[in-house]
Amino acid sequence: MTIHHQPGKERIDAVRAFNRFYTRQIGLLDEGLLKSAFSLTEARVLYELAHRDGLTATDLIRDLGLDAGYVSRLLKKFEHLQLISRTALASDARQSSITLTSAGREAFAPLDRGSHDQVAALLERLPAAEQDRLVKAMQTVQQLLGESPEPKIPYMLRPLQVGDIGWIVRRQGQIYAQDYGWDETYEALVAEILGAFVKSFDPKWERSWIAERQGEVVGSVFVVRKSDDVAKLRLLYVEPSARGLGIGKRLVEECIGFARAKGYKTLTLWTNDILTAARHIYESAGFKRADEERHHAFGKDLVGQNWNLEL
């Protein structure tokens, strides 16, 4: 069952304001296209035909929100100019697959270059970091409104970079507060652990893995040296939006592989019994619970547990 949340007036007004602003921006870009021999709508149809195979008139009517009679007249004009060719579909002779001819692609090329150059000029007004922010914001709009397909590569793993520490401290503090009601002392602990990791980092014996998805950090884990024989897995987390992709399992597997390759005999970790998803990952990877103890931390009565994996 889908639960609908009625938006407040402020949110509705914000979206309407954005629509007005963006419409003005797009209008400025589209003015350049009108200098060509094609109208804006004709340019949109040419764009679709240049970038998608097997389109029919029905597809154009539906996807571009155009009137059927207008599309019919427009396609006849393109056919007269020898910009397109049509091939009847084997599955339905009443429908035709529309393809740009070489003349059609030649006619579209300056439109494509013009649009590219206009957007480039728009972005060039911003520093590189702000360009990234703008693109990510646009991708977020597409994702939330359901127009962006899932990426072929759901995530990637990389080492720690500048800016990651602050993000991880903030997100872990927020997520554990939302999910378990933990207070700010947990966020302070995460900051303390990561601060020490950076200050005393030994690349020969220690490692970090940051999971990134579409340019955003969605998870992380760290291995630190406890002794010559023992390594410690610390601060495993996965963003709620990225759960179900196997990121947590993969991060733990990377820790185990690294610890074995470095010759550690034991990989250990500390967690709390209420973190059931994490405990399931540890158990599935072969960790055994060594002991547990009741304690009060982060504003809650908890049961802390030590888990070990013999390598």
**pLDDT band at residue 147 using 50, 70 and 90 as cut-offs:** low
The domain spans of the chain are 9-144, 156-310
How far apart (Å, rounded) are the C-alpha atoms in residues 301 and 211? 31
pLDDT at 59: 86
How far apart (Å, rounded) are the C-alpha atoms in residues 297 and 303? 10
Tell me the two tokens of residue 143: 């994702």
Q: Which of 234, 266, 273 is nearest to 252 (CA)?
A: 234
pLDDT at 280: 92
Tell me the per-residue pLDDT of 7-63, one tens digit each, with 9 for 90 and over: 788 888 888 888 888 777 766 566 655 566 777 788 888 888 888 777 888 888 888
Query: Could you give the angle at the alpha carbon of 45 between the alpha carbons of 40 and 46, nearest 5°?
Result: 95
Tell me the two tokens of residue 256: 């185990």
Tell me the per-residue pLDDT of 179-214, one tens digit each, with 9 for 90 and over: 999 999 999 999 999 999 999 999 999 999 999 987
What is each CA distance from 59 to 62, 67, 83, 147, 239, in whole angstroms?
5, 12, 18, 16, 37
How far apart (Å, rounded) are the C-alpha atoms in residues 247 and 241? 11
Q: What is the CATH number of domain 9-144?
A: 1.10.10.10
How far apart (Å, rounded) are the C-alpha atoms in residues 304 and 281? 17
Tell me the per-residue pLDDT of 100-145, one tens digit each, with 9 for 90 and over: 899 988 888 887 787 777 788 888 888 877 887 888 888 778 777 8
Tell me the two tokens of residue 167: 């993000």
How far apart (Å, rounded) are the C-alpha atoms in residues 309 and 268? 6
Residue 233, pLDDT > 60, answer: yes
CA torsion angle for 284, 287, 288, 291 (degrees, to 10)?
-120
pLDDT at 153: 61
Q: Give the SS3 label for residue 26.
A: helix
271 CB-contact burial (10 Å; exposed 0-12 / middle 13-18 / buried 19+): buried
How far apart (Å, rounded) are the C-alpha atoms in residues 282 and 174? 23
How far apart (Å, rounded) are the C-alpha atoms in residues 100 and 107? 10
Q: Give yes or no for a contact between 157 and 250, defined as CB atoms under 8 angstroms apart.
A: yes
Q: Give yes or no for a contact between 87 and 97, defined as CB atoms under 8 angstroms apart.
A: yes
Assigned architecture for domain 156-310: 3-Layer(aba) Sandwich (3.40)
pLDDT at 291: 94
User: What's the pTM?
Assistant: 0.57
- Decide the pairing of beta strands 84-88 and 230-238: unpaired
Tell me the per-residue pLDDT of 67-98, one tens digit each, with 9 for 90 and over: 888 888 989 999 999 988 888 887 777 888 88
